């Protein structure tokens, strides 16, 4: 029995499915049934006489292509195995298999995988004699990544290094030589990597007009999924394969273009109507995921985007909670508020239906610690768990040795980086330390000055017994040059983890307690096959969360410099991508959305916290689209209520008439009034000088690095 497609689809989906022959751009908002629409379009074309072999379907994953073809086949009861395509790379490979000799390749070339590429790059480096004996020289994986990024972004490798990896610029000439020789090696030996497939297909189509025309005639319908994620060469390939555009259909969402770091160009989808004149644009705006109050916020978020296709998402789920905007005292207290919210939400939904999303992997570290502390299972996607990061383990090894000089694994980690000290020597030295063999210790420390320096530092700290923050600062002064030498490729990125470690340490006065907190492990994670049985909270970067959804989503660190990132705030295009990134984060939520804005964040240069400005994206939101809550200094989170309007002071010429607008000083304020011009301490701002008493119960205080603040007496600790 034939299925009535129109009844199975909403009006916009049906319009996209049955659109007349010609260029078609489908702007598919988040949760709007994009895959369903493509599957129905495939089925509609075949049911109306288009042969499957005349359809080219280009996607970004093989799984996506298979799902669309399976759904379409189920709709019409006919296999669609004749449809060409799959991923851009697989399609390119299938064409090049037959015609690569035109480009100077042998009739049978080899497509390399990651290990092949790494091995060949190693051979090239060895032949050139580049970086020999230099441990700081970029690793093969790093060089391959930079070569690929420069090709996908189509920018010069030297320029890419200057923009994104300036700490490696002094190796730029060597890496350019390696890249050039690597390309020559591949051609000489009949090898292609993944990027070659795309660029070589483009070359082939440009050099062989007859082949390009044949492919255009064969594939009268070209369908491209996730068009917002195409890079420059992929967009040019679509243009070549689609010809005049009469049969081309691109589906995507400019507001979900978040992969510029891989070379994706949001301009490709924005320029589609210019590339293919007379384009029909269909907007899928009905959302099947989120409640309407969440969509009100995401629509408002996009309203200030500089370049976009206008869209207004709506849902039939009109009832629902407004998103919550939760202001916390600091990024450290934010973790507790987040965990409290998870526990609250877990009373009405499973843990696996709750996700904490963040801009960068290091931002979840305080949350991870608290979840471990209370034994709440979690899984993290995008970025290592805090205590799994190698550089964090390095620093913790020094701290562990202050507490326990017999900690053999810590000694092995602390001295393993020493130049010339192999595993055998390391083990011998560590054993000598444990057994108190002073002669062996003396010989080793004399031979290896770095070991002697580490030994002296640990001994000094054991004698002094400093607080965790002081101990860490001393260790990081010693460790920083070793850190930069040990992780030359990405130490700037890793630095954030060490900054976070310092911040966490600032909340402890006892080193044993600090280490105990850090080494508390979450319960053993279940085996992969059992992961659906065990309940766990999801922690994820926003990039890793794209395409997923949860009942409740909590987005943290929404302050300028973190989300958007400090780097993005210096470039308008990057800033707009950060806006899209937040849009993706918010549209993952079905029923609850929480946005967390800490009022202060840790700054390692100041050795403490500094005030933070709410993310400019949050500042742009109209207050009507969220419920605002605020954490007070007692750790309570309550709805923010507007301050009551102050009553006007009554006009009175009689000095004997009392003024009822001036309340009496509180007992606490009276006790502290004499402290004016003394000093006090505050939980967030540290030590400050009292400048003025403000009746009935406040002080004006000058905090170094923070400036003048007006704070209530109850939140201050007065110095005698």
How is the chain split into domains, by residue range? 5-95+197-286, 110-189, 324-377+522-639, 415-519, 667-718
pLDDT tens-digit series, residues 8-33: 999 999 999 999 777 999 999 999 99
pLDDT higher at 530 or 447: 447
Residues 6+ away with beta carbon under 8 Å from 245: 22, 23, 275, 276, 277, 279
Tokens of 660: 């009822």
Structural element, H or E, at residue 326: strand 324-328
222, 276 contact by CB (below 8 A): no
Mean pLDDT of the region 282-310: 95
Mean pLDDT, the chain, rounded, equals 85
Q: Which fold has domain 5-95+197-286?
A: Rossmann fold (3.40.50)
Q: Which 3 state secondary structure label does DSSP give 412?
A: helix
Using a 10 angstrom Cβ sphere, with 0-12 exposed, 13-18 middle and 19 or more buried, the burial of residue 3 is: middle
State percent of the chain over pLDDT 90: 44
**Whole-number pLDDT of residue 607:** 63
**Whole-number pLDDT of residue 181:** 94
Please tell me whether 540 is known to bind a ligand.
no
Highest mean pLDDT among 123-132, 402-411, 677-686: 123-132
CA atoms within 13 A on the CB side of 590: 10
Quote the CA–CA distance of 413 and 225 in Å, as a whole number. 48
Mean pLDDT of the region 408-426: 75
Residues 6+ away with beta carbon under 8 Å from 270: 254, 307, 308, 309
pLDDT higher at 327 or 570: 327
391, 413 contact by CB (below 8 A): no
Is the bond preceding 696 in cis, omega lying within 30 degrees of 0? yes
Quote the CA–CA distance of 225 and 250 in Å, as a whole number. 6
CA atoms within 13 A on the CB side of 153: 20
Quote the CA–CA distance of 561 and 597 in Å, as a whole number. 12
pLDDT tens-digit series, residues 432-488: 877 778 888 888 888 887 778 887 888 888 888 888 888 888 888 888 887 887 788
354, 556 contact by CB (below 8 A): no
Residue 662 has pLDDT above 70, yes or no: no
Please tell me whether 33 is known to bind a ligand.
yes
Computed over its alpha carbons, how large is the radius of gyration of the chain?
A: 31
- Does 667-718 match 324-377+522-639 at the fold level? no
Quote the CA–CA distance of 512 and 705 in Å, as a whole number. 31
| Domain spanning 324-377+522-639: CATH superfamily | P-loop containing nucleotide triphosphate hydrolases (3.40.50.300)
305, 299 contact by CB (below 8 A): no
Residue 214 has pLDDT above 70, yes or no: yes
**Whole-number pLDDT of residue 386:** 72
How many residues appear in the chain?
A: 720
| Residue of 599, 5, 705, 643 lying closest to 326 (CA atoms) | 599
Residues 6+ away with beta carbon under 8 Å from 237: 88, 92, 198, 201, 202, 205
- The predicted model scores a pTM of 0.79
pLDDT tens-digit series, residues 158-189: 999 888 888 888 889 999 999 999 999 888 88
Angle at 359 between CA 353 and CA 362, to 5 degrees: 95
**Whole-number pLDDT of residue 707:** 63
Residues 6+ away with beta carbon under 8 Å from 33: 10, 13, 284, 286, 288
Please tell me whether 320 is known to bind a ligand.
no
Angle at 625 between CA 620 and CA 631, to 5 degrees: 80
CA distances from 446 to 37, 435, 441 (A): 72, 19, 8
Using a 10 angstrom Cβ sphere, with 0-12 exposed, 13-18 middle and 19 or more buried, the burial of residue 439 is: exposed
| Residue of 665, 28, 411 lying closest to 40 (CA atoms) | 28
| Residue of 533, 535, 554, 558 lying closest to 545 (CA atoms) | 554
CA atoms within 13 A on the CB side of 588: 29
Tokens of 592: 């609850």
103, 204 contact by CB (below 8 A): yes
Residue 418 has pLDDT above 80, yes or no: no
Residue 490 has pLDDT above 80, yes or no: no
CA atoms within 13 A on the CB side of 636: 4
Q: Which fold has domain 667-718?
A: SH3 type barrels. (2.30.30)
Tokens of 461: 């700290």
Please tell me whether 275 is known to bind a ligand.
no
**Whole-number pLDDT of residue 529:** 37
CA distances from 61 to 87, 89, 587, 710 (A): 6, 10, 22, 56
pLDDT tens-digit series, residues 611-655: 899 999 999 999 999 999 999 888 888 888 664 544 433 333 333
First to last CA, the chain: 89
How, if at all, do strands 686-694 and 24-28 pair?
unpaired
Using a 10 angstrom Cβ sphere, with 0-12 exposed, 13-18 middle and 19 or more buried, the burial of residue 514 is: buried
Using a 10 angstrom Cβ sphere, with 0-12 exposed, 13-18 middle and 19 or more buried, the burial of residue 612 is: buried
| Residue of 77, 85, 20 lying closest to 46 (CA atoms) | 77
Please tell me whether 467 is known to bind a ligand.
no
Quote the CA–CA distance of 39 and 401 in Å, as a whole number. 60
Please tell me whether 149 is known to bind a ligand.
no
Tokens of 691: 């400048």
618, 597 contact by CB (below 8 A): yes
Distance of CA 22 to the CA centre of its chain: 38
Please tell me whether 28 is known to bind a ligand.
yes
Using a 10 angstrom Cβ sphere, with 0-12 exposed, 13-18 middle and 19 or more buried, the burial of residue 420 is: exposed
Using a 10 angstrom Cβ sphere, with 0-12 exposed, 13-18 middle and 19 or more buried, the burial of residue 591 is: buried
CA distances from 362 to 347, 359, 504 (A): 28, 9, 12
601, 609 contact by CB (below 8 A): yes
3-state SS of 463-510 is HHCCCHHHHHHHHHHHHHHHHHHHCCCCHHHHHHHHHHHHHHHCCCCC
Tokens of 668: 């606490």
- Bridge-partner residues for 597, per DSSP? 327
State percent of the chain over pLDDT 70: 90
Question: Ramachandran region of residue 391, left (φ > 0), alpha (ψ -120 to 50) or beta?
Answer: alpha
**Whole-number pLDDT of residue 297:** 97
Highest mean pLDDT among 207-221, 379-393, 510-524: 207-221
Please tell me whether 31 is known to bind a ligand.
yes
Quote the CA–CA distance of 13 and 9 in Å, as a whole number. 6
Quote the CA–CA distance of 26 and 8 in Å, as a whole number. 18
**Whole-number pLDDT of residue 491:** 79
Q: Which 3 state secondary structure label does DSSP give 440?
A: helix
495, 479 contact by CB (below 8 A): no
**Whole-number pLDDT of residue 170:** 87
Question: Helix, strand, coil proportions of the chain in percent (round to 5)?
Answer: 50, 15, 30
- The pLDDT-based confidence of 519 (bands split at 50, 70, 90) is low
Quote the CA–CA distance of 485 and 470 in Å, as a whole number. 24
- Bridge-partner residues for 689, per DSSP? 679, 702
pLDDT tens-digit series, residues 349-383: 999 999 999 999 889 989 998 998 888 999 999 87
**Whole-number pLDDT of residue 439:** 83
For the CA atoms of 449, 455, 456, 458, what is the dihedral angle to 10 degrees? 150
Adjacency order of strands within the sheet including 280-284:
84-87, 55-59, 221-224, 248-252, 24-28, 280-284
């Amino acid at each position: 029995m034939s299925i009535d497609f129109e009844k199975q689809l909403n009006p916009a989906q049906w319009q996209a499915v049955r659109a007349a022959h010609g260029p078609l751009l489908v702007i598919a908002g988040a949760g709007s049934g994009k895959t369903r629409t493509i599957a129905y379009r495939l089925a509609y074309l075949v049911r109306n006489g288009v042969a499957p072999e005349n359809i080219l379907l280009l996607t970004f994953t093989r799984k996506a292509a298979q799902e669309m073809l399976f759904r379409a086949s189920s709709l019409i009861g006919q296999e669609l195995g004749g449809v060409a395509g799959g991923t851009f790379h697989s399609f390119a490979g299938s064409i090049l298999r037959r015609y690569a000799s035109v480009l100077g390749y042998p009739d049978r070339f080899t497509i390399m995988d990651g290990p092949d590429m790494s091995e060949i790059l190693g051979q090239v480096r060895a032949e050139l004699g580049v970086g020999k004996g230099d441990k700081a020289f970029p690793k093969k994986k790093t060089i391959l990544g930079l070569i690929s990024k420069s090709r996908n972004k189509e920018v010069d490798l030297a320029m890419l290094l200057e923009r994104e990896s300036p700490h490696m610029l002094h190796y730029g000439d060597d890496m350019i030589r390696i890249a050039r020789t690597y390309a020559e090696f591949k051609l000489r030996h009949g090898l292609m990597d993944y990027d070659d497939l795309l660029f070589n297909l483009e070359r082939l189509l440009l050099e062989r007009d007859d082949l390009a025309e044949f492919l255009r005639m064969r594939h009268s319908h070209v369908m491209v999924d996730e068009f917002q994620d195409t890079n420059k060469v992929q967009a040019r390939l679509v243009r070549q394969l689609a010809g005049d555009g009469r049969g081309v259909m691109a589906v995507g969402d400019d507001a979900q273009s978040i992969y510029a770091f891989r070379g994706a160009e949001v301009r490709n989808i924005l320029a589609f109507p210019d590339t293919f004149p007379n384009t029909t644009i269909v907007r899928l705006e009905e959302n099947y995921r989120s409640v309407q109050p969440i969509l009100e916020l995401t629509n408002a978020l996009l309203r200030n985007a500089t370049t976009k296709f206008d869209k207004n998402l709506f849902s039939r789920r009109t009832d629902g909670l407004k998103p919550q905007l939760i202001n916390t005292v600091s990024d450290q207290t934010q973790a507790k508020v987040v965990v409290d919210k998870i526990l609250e939400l877990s009373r009405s939904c499973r843990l696996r239906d709750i996700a904490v999303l963040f801009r960068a992997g290091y931002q979840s570290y305080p949350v991870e610690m608290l979840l471990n502390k209370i034994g709440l299972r979690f899984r993290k996607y995008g970025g290592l768990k805090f205590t799994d990061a190698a550089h964090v383990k390095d620093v913790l090894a020094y701290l562990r040795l202050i507490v326990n000089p017999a900690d053999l694994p810590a000694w092995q980690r602390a001295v393993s980086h020493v130049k010339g000290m192999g595993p055998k020597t390391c083990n011998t030295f560590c054993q000598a330390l444990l057994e108190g063999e002073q002669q062996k210790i003396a010989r080793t420390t004399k031979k290896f000055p770095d070991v002697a320096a580490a030994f002296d530092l640990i001994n000094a700290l054991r004698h002094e017994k400093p607080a965790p923050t002081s101990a860490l600062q001393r260790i990081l002064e010693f460790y920083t040059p070793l850190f930069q030498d040990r992780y030359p490729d990405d130490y700037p990125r890793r630095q954030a983890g060490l900054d976070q470690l310092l911040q966490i340490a600032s909340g402890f006065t006892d080193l044993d307690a600090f280490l105990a907190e850090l080494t508390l492990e979450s319960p053993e994670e279940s085996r992969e096959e059992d992961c659906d049985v065990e309940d766990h909270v999801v922690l994820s970067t926003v990039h890793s969360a794209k395409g997923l959804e949860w009942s409740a989503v909590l987005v943290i660190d929404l302050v300028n410099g973190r989300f958007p990132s400090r780097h993005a705030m210096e470039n308008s295009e990057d800033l707009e991508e950060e806006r899209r990134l937040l849009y993706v984060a918010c549209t993952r939520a079905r029923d609850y959305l929480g946005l967390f804005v800490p009022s202060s964040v840790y700054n390692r240069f100041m050795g403490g916290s500094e005030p933070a400005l709410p993310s400019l994206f949050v500042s742009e939101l109209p207050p009507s689209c969220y419920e605002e809550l605020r954490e007070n200094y007692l750790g309570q989170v309550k709805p923010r209520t507007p301050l009551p309007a102050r009553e006007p002071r009554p006009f009175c010429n009689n000095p004997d008439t009392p003024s009822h607008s001036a309340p009496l000083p509180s007992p606490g304020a009276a006790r502290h009034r004499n402290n004016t011009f003394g000093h006090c301490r505050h939980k967030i701002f540290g030590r400050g000088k009292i400048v003025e008493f403000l009746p009935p119960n406040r002080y004006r205080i000058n905090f170094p690095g923070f400036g003048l603040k007006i704070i209530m007496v109850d939140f201050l600790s007065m110095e005698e």
